[in-house]
Amino acid sequence: MSPINKAILLVGGKGTRLAPLTTNTPKPMLKIAGAPVTEHQIVKAREAGISEIVLATSYLADVFEPYFGDGSRFGMKIRYAYETQPLGTGGAIANAAQLLELGANESLFIFNGDVLSSHDLIAQSELHLKSGAAVTLHLVEVEDARAYGCVPIGADSKVLQFLEKMDNPIAKTINAGCYIFSNQALQQIPKGAVVSVERETFPALLNSGQNIFGYVDGGYWIDMGTPESMIRASRDLISNPALSKATPKVINHTVMMREVQLHASSRVGEGSYLESGVVIEANSIVNGSIIGENAHIESDVLIENSYIAPQSRVTSGSKLRGEIFGF
Ligand code: GTP
């Protein structure tokens, strides 16, 4: 069990890269592999021994509490912080931390609300406590870091720099969106102000001589912030059910919710997720896709690696590959 048992989950962003999926549903509440992204994260946190979480909400804030309640359904304590004006990732952390009674020497986890990862939270917390770092970041290695800012570390795992996106990144390690903050580091984020933890807080901590450590883990990791990566994340979690205990039972490489009507001549597979009330008529094939609630797929349709909006209708003979359909 992780010796660090409190956490903040950042769920208040607008999720613009996922528009129009995020017009009425905040990104963390979008369902992949049968459960909202936030639920996959909460269950992972609980499994590592985290018992108290504050959700830092802002955009479409009202939808979280009706679903997660006080957390007892998940075996933990969940509370909700709210920002009238989005305060950015750093401002959100400072605001939400006021709901947690942290001891002077206590540390807490911060999770970006759009990352799914199998990394070892306990090992990350052990590195943090052993090194006495101000902050310990989860880092992942990517083949091509050009699309990200990179975070080079030394042989002792100390973070050397935070670098913006560049054409020739000097390291393959990138910020994976899960941090442990000591209470002292947390107190250095200004309250009530718009602050970016990535662009302002981390560089400022380094510049003032404080230690930031990087915990590199080669496990599964995905930022589901784009339509393509969201569909891929759902497929991955279904293909490998060990990745999340929040994924409902997988049967024939598929998660099907209640009252799905699948014609005997149609086939569904390769990590597809069918929400409740979906109807699929004759001779259709669905692979690697998310089909929203009550969507109706007519006959002779092919759907691959796509997202079909709830309540929408795909007409007979359609071929959809890598598409967001029905918005
Ligand atoms: P894009 O607009 O598509 O970039 O998505 P986003 O709004 O989610 O931004 P980003 O992916 O950079 O955010 C990382 C995490 O921080 C996500 O889980 C967001 O929900 C969260 N987040 C971003 N900005 C804020 C904010 O101002 N307040 C709160 N509470 N959370 C935020």
Per-domain residue ranges of the chain: 6-223, 249-325
pLDDT at 164 over 90: no
Does 152 sit in the ligand 1 pocket, CB within 6 Å? no
88 lines ligand 1 (CB under 6 A): yes
* Mean pLDDT value across residues 102-122: 97
The answer on pLDDT for 190 being more than 90 is yes
Give me ligand 1 centre to Cα 86, in Å: 9
Which of 54, 112, 222 has most ligand 1 atoms within 8 Å of CB, for mutation?
112
Rounded mean pLDDT, 204-218: 96
In whole angstroms, how far apart are CA 49 and each of 121, 125, 225?
9, 11, 27
Verify whether ligand 1 is closer than 6 Å to residue 92 (CB atom).
yes
**Residue 257 banded pLDDT, cuts 50, 70, 90:** very high
Q: How far is the CA of 17 from the centre of ligand 1 (A)?
A: 11
Q: State the average pLDDT over residues 266-285.
A: 97
Q: pLDDT tens, 300-312?
A: 999 999 999 999 9
Q: Taking 90 as the threshold, does the pLDDT of residue 210 lie above it?
A: yes
Residues 6+ apart with CB under 8 A from 15: 21, 22, 26, 27, 59, 114, 225
pLDDT on residue 187? 97
Point out the ligand 1 atom lying closest to the alpha carbon of residue 17: 3
Q: The whole model's pTM is what?
A: 0.96
Among protein residues, the one whose CA lies closest to atom 13 of ligand 1: 13
- CB distance 110 to ligand 1 below 6 Å: no
How many angstroms separate the Cα of 262 from the Cα of each of 34, 252, 305, 313? 17, 13, 19, 15
Mean pLDDT over 117-121 rounds to 97
Tell me, what's the pLDDT at 83?
97
pLDDT band at 320 (very low <50, low <70, confident <90, very high): very high
Domain 6-223 has CATH 3.90.1150.10: no
> Which residues 6+ apart lie within 8 Å of 101 measured at CB?
none
Closest atom, ligand 1, to C-alpha of 22: 3
Q: Which positions ≥6 away from 272 have C-beta within 8 Å?
A: 235, 238, 253, 254, 255, 286, 287, 288, 289, 290, 291
Where does the pLDDT of residue 60 fall: very low under 50, low under 70, confident under 90, or very high at 90 and above?
Answer: very high
Mean pLDDT of 148-175: 93
Q: What percentage of the chain reaches a pLDDT higher than 70? A: 100
pLDDT at 1 over 90: no
Mean pLDDT of the chain: 96
The radius of gyration computed from the CA coordinates of the chain, to the nearest angstrom, equals 21
CA distance 25 to 27: 6
CATH fold, domain 249-325, is UDP N-Acetylglucosamine Acyltransferase; domain 1 (2.160.10)
- State the distance from the centre of ligand 1 to the C-alpha of 14, rounded, in angstroms: 6
- Per-residue pLDDT band at 147 (split at 50, 70, 90): confident
